[in-house]
Structure 1
Amino acid sequence: MKIIIRECELQDYVDIVLLNKNEMGYNYPAEDTKGQLERLLRDNNHKLYVAKVADKIVGYIHANNHDLLYAPHLKNIMGIAVSADFRGKGIGKMLLNEVENWARDTGAWGVRLVSGATRTGAHAFYLACGYTLKKEQNNFNKIF
């Protein structure tokens, strides 16, 4: 099985919608995803990579710059998803490596990510990839 990791392109949005829905439980409309992706692809503060097997996108990762007044510059993983049919084949690690390379190439101090409390399988994966659990926290929103 040949796995290709490449930068995301706008036409990848259809497969990303399915990954978001099937792997992460986010049922966000395809046209809205396309609009968001179009905007993010033009923004140098964001990087998106996809994993492709044959003609199908089977995974993706989205990262951005993370700059605070109390910590050095980091890259922040906003989302990562790999199709359940392709897990355990190194795709997630390959996607993480792309973001880690972007971080190194731009002088970032490291990479951070936040993962939902119930995603214990993902937590084990991140630990196996060398990430450490820094803290547990709550996530608050105010929607308008």
Structure 2
Amino acid sequence: MVTEGTVAKGAKPEWSLRPAVLADQAGLTRLSAQLGYPIENQLLGHNLHFILARPDHWVQVVADAHEQVLGWVHGYVRVVLESAPAVEVGGLVVDAACRGQGMGRALMAALEAWARTQAVGRVTLRSGMERPEAHRFYLSLGYTAIKQQQAFSKSL
């Protein structure tokens, strides 16, 4: 699925969706920091290499006419014992300078189309309480907030 649109007011260069490739590493790293998850470029590259080799993971980017990455979405099939399989959104971000142009909607529509090919009945995602604008966005796409929770982590 390729969707085209415009990015910024003024010049309005074309943008399109396409599968992520290893050459997108720097753009994905830059946008991960905007999402609130700064990561070293080398580690993101390692993760991207792993993800692109797996058929149960999927990464799509929005790129402009110069192949600059303006947004990305990552989804993966999540299988756990206690519930039906689903595609989980691992992350979604659109460059702050490009928001409101339809890129996020296009990325989510593409992810939902991929999810349908994975024989799962739903898409799930998690969004921190500090992101009310993201919550409004997901609600506008038909997603339903089902619970609030805390996240825990332990470094090993």
Amino acid at match of 1:50: V
1:39 is aligned, of 33, 50, 58, to: 50
Percent identity over the alignment is 30
2:92 is aligned, of 66, 80, 87, to: 80
User: Where do 4+ consecutive residues of structure 1 move more than 4 Å?
Assistant: none
Question: RMSD value over aligned CA atoms?
Answer: 0.9
Please state if 1:107 is matched with 2:125.
no
Instruction: Name the counterpart of 1:120.
Output: 132
1:141 is aligned, of 142, 147, 153, to: 153
Report the alpha carbon displacement of residue 69 of structure 1 after superposing the two structures with TM: 1.8
Instruction: Name the counterpart of 1:92.
Output: 104
TM-score, scaled relative to structure 1: 0.96
Report the alpha carbon displacement of residue 68 of structure 1 after superposing the two structures with TM: 1.8
Report the alpha carbon displacement of residue 25 of structure 1 after superposing the two structures with TM: 2.0
Q: Deviations over 1:60-92 (max 9, x none)?
A: 001101112222111000101100111111100
Please state if 1:58 is matched with 2:70.
yes
- Report how many residues are paired: 143
Report the alpha carbon displacement of residue 93 of structure 1 after superposing the two structures with TM: 0.7
**Structure 2 residue runs without a partner (length 5+):** 1-5, 7-13
Looking at structure 2, the residues matched to 75 and 65 of structure 1 have their Cα atoms a distance apart, in angstroms, of 4
Report the alpha carbon displacement of residue 3 of structure 1 after superposing the two structures with TM: 2.0
Looking at structure 2, the residues matched to 16 and 106 of structure 1 have their Cα atoms a distance apart, in angstroms, of 24
Amino acid at match of 1:35: H
Please state if 1:6 is matched with 2:12.
no
Looking at structure 2, the residues matched to 27 and 135 of structure 1 have their Cα atoms a distance apart, in angstroms, of 27
Looking at structure 2, the residues matched to 65 and 106 of structure 1 have their Cα atoms a distance apart, in angstroms, of 8
TM-score, scaled relative to structure 2: 0.88
